[in-house]
Structure 1
């Protein structure tokens, strides 16, 4: 059997891949690893005692989240862990409340931007950080192990803590100075976890807010709305004459934006605006921002021109976070809109990011499109070559073809060949000064991949 944990927790089709039984077993194993529930039970602790482990549990609005939440709570409580049930909240809210409420662990039930039939479960350490690989491996190893089950007063107690959403909203609002008075914002909540807290936070900040994708029914999450489907938001922003549009994904750990012109502002541009603002205020740690190898070359050139260093990592927010923590940096993220601001959060937070982006618009007194023009996105073409052996991504013939393309591009573009981490597929990405050149070179390299990587 392959590794159960993926790049962001355990995901699958709820009820088929991600069953109630599996989720309950995962929660039991996580309780033993993260909450030290076995030690608590052996010590004969009582509910509410200082050594009794506590977990916070949140979810997005998917219908399957209801039975999966019950399975998580059952696994934790049966292991001797007290559970605070947070209800429907964004992933970053669960991460924040893990720390704010002094919990030993946090659990989020969500499949992020995936369609409604999917779901997932991710755990947070005490302190609100996602699990490193070694801890995930330990949880997997302890699945199904025999254990001494607590009884009587040693079983965990469960209570609802839905009111803690306000604590999270107050926290994100406290991280920005000034107000958004007069700014008109269209907010696309993806029928997801931010459908209440995001509009509330923006309204409290003074913005004029119109929402779309804010009526979840358990089955419509991410369906034609949210950060992966921006068409509707673009139309509404332009037709209403709004200043800005903000789109979250299903669990609101990331966001993208739309300018008043309808132009999409991606994660690279959002990071560029934030980096420039923090740099000007002397708040950008080490004058450095952390991005992945997939960030547009235009972002890196803009940062270079502004005197800001860029550290590159592999694709994935966990790798961005590792580099940020290792170097003491406080801003990083991905082109997808997953932005980490470690002065205020332990994980990507779409609501936090959007508040800081909108604050920059108000503070500068310039439209978002103008602020985002600090970087020029070079044309980028990405081709996913499927059905090939990803282990052959470094064969000499392909390396030679890449070297030829790089020589042709010179300093005006770049090439990235990246094997998929989960599928028999190799990704070919080319950036160039023109869309025609990028497409031509990407297709040429894709043909080479098909020839030599079968």
Structure 2
């Protein structure tokens, strides 16, 4: 049984994610936890999933700290703040409203690693848990962790006050703590989609360029200095410059990493990150550490003492000095502070951008095909990484073939520093995949 993907358990409510699963997860987690922090995003299904999860925990004798509707990073951080053994966010993050999920957190703020996930899966599959005695059930208390999260972000920012005009698109999610912090720092804040609503009526939850058109238009046409967008649980953050330019994930990653890292340090990034990030950081003698795709893997790499920052171009940003949980509100306030010091429009003009090609190919038996791809490529190329799929570094370019974690697809990505070379490398990557399918 493989319940966990790269971002916890996630899928359609009533099919993959059920109250029965939440109950079993609570029982399995309660085997070795005395206290667990629980919170959820605004999805209506989160109410009964949380009730089932809490029932399983308390039946096991585990005390529960209920933080209610809260951003996922609020839950992740609260585990350490409340001296708990674990945390659970009931969320499907940026997925559509018909989905929900359960993501587990360690006291460090890092998501459960592969070993921890397997331990929970094994217990659920085998039913290896026992209820506590009739008089040993766990307690439950409610706690406002949002105020503590806001206080933590203010203490971590390298600024005292900002007289900036900021538009925050909360996405009908749980990221209102961003507004709290920015207002407390003196910013003039205008909100979009600020009412929590798990149906996400204002826009789809994922803050893509298409879904953030209203934000970009409002910022570009008005007098705002910067725009911020979150997904449903606010673990992700995307930004819009004062001229209405939506920042790509790679550019955002480059800006955060450059601000966080000192010469000789490294930043952790997934294998599908643009070559432009490495080039931009090399200017100040900062290296990159490649990881599999998924914030849990970026967080694992960010535990190394010389890694100052970790990020995914999808919008997850990690400052290991503060927490190993992707913290969208911290990222929002950090990028607002960067803009207040020097405009994002000026900063992004300094980051190189290269042509990148992406494709998804329907592939039956993707596992077997990827094994043949790996064998063929390792025999032909010298600089090959198999952290997540097969990535080939050609010096002036790279390509990646990676099986989708949820669909019968192989993702094909290629990048170079000029258009013709990018097309050439993409053709090579496609040829490698075609040969492995024969």
Task: Give the TM-score normalised by the residue count of structure 2.
Answer: 0.89
Structure 2: runs of 5+ lacking an equivalent: 385-392
Q: Deviations over 1:356-376 (max 9, x none)?
A: 22212223xx21021123321
Answer yes or no: is 1:153 the counterpart of 2:153.
no
State the alpha-carbon separation in 2 of the partners of residues 113 and 321 from structure 1: 19
Rounded Cα–Cα distance in structure 2 between residues aligned with 1:440 and 1:395: 18
- Report 1:37-48 matches (<5 A): none
Contact 1:292/1:320, CA 8 A, preserved across alignment: yes
Q: Output one character per residue of 1:29-86: Cα deviation in whole Å (capped at 9) or x when no partner.
A: 01113x0xxxxxxxxxxxxxxxxx2211100000111111111111111111111110
Q: Could you say which residue in structure 2 is the equivalent of 1:372?
A: 348
Range 170-179 or range 426-435, more displaced: 426-435
Q: Does 2:102 correspond to 1:121?
A: yes
Q: 2:287, 2:23 → 1: CA distance? A: 45
Q: Does 1:254 align with 2:231?
A: no
- Does the 8 Å CA contact 2:94/2:233 hold for their aligned counterparts? yes
321, 346, 356: which is aligned to 2:334?
A: 356
Of 368, 381, 384, the residue aligned with 2:360 is: 384
Determine whether 1:449 maps to 2:430.
Answer: no
After TM superposition, give the deviation of residue 148 of structure 1 in Å: 4.1
Per the alignment, residue 220 of structure 1 pairs with 200
Residues 1:98 and 2:76 aligned together: no
Looking at structure 2, the residues matched to 344 and 127 of structure 1 have their Cα atoms a distance apart, in angstroms, of 10
Indicate whether 1:240 and 2:222 are aligned: yes
The worse-fitting range, judged by mean Cα deviation, of 151-160 and 185-194 is 151-160
1:425 to partner: Cα distance:
1.8
The higher radius of gyration belongs to 1
More helix by share: 1
Question: Which deviations, in whole Å up to 9, do the C-alpha atoms of 1:234-269 show, x marking residues without a partner?
Answer: 112112232111111221112111112222213332
2:191 counterpart (200, 211, 224): 211
Specify the alignment match of 2:387 in structure 1: none
8 Å CA contact 2:110, 2:299 repeated in 1: no
For the residue of structure 1 that corresponds to 2:31, the secondary structure is: helix
Superposition map of 1:13-162 within 5 A: 13-33=12-32, 35=33, 53-143=34-124, 145=127, 147-161=129-143
Aligned to 1:201: 181
CA pair 400-326 structure 1, distance change in 2 beyond 3 A: closer
Q: Cα gap change, 1:352/1:13 in structure 2, threshold over 3 Å: closer, same or farther?
A: same
TM-superposition CA deviations, 1:386-408 (whole Å, max 9, x none): 124433234489649996xx9xx
Distance change (3 Å), C-alpha of 1:292 and 1:116: same
- C-alpha distance 17-447 of structure 1, shift in aligned 2 (>3 A): same
1:88 offset after TM fit, Å? 0.9
Residue in structure 2 matching 1:312, options 290, 305, 308: 290
Q: Give 5+ residue unaligned stretches, structure 1.
A: 36-52
Pairwise CA distance, 1:312: 1.3
Secondary structure in 2 aligned to 1:153?
coil
Counterparts in 2 of 1:208 and 1:93: CA distance versus 1, 3 Å: same
1:276 aligns with 2:253: no
Q: Between Structure 1 and Structure 2, how many residues are aligned?
A: 424
Q: How far has the Cα of 1:444 moved from its partner?
A: 6.2
RMSD (Å) for aligned C-alpha atoms:
2.6
Query: Residues 380 and 431 of structure 1 are in contact (CA less than 8 Å); yes or no, is this contact kept in structure 2?
Result: yes
For residues 396 and 153 of structure 1, what CA distance do their matches in structure 2 show?
A: 56
Deviation at 1:276, TM superposition (A): 2.5
Distance 1:30 1:400, change over 3 A: closer
1:115-137 deviations in Å (ceiling 9; x for gaps): 00100001122343211211211
Tell me: CA distance 1:5–1:211, structure 2 relative to 1, closer, same or farther (3 Å).
same
Per the normalisation by structure 1, the TM-score is 0.86
Map Cα deviations across residues 266-310 of structure 1 (whole Å, 9 max, x no partner). Answer: 33322322332234xxxx485221112111111111111221111
- Report if the CA contact (8 A) 2:219-2:240 is conserved: yes
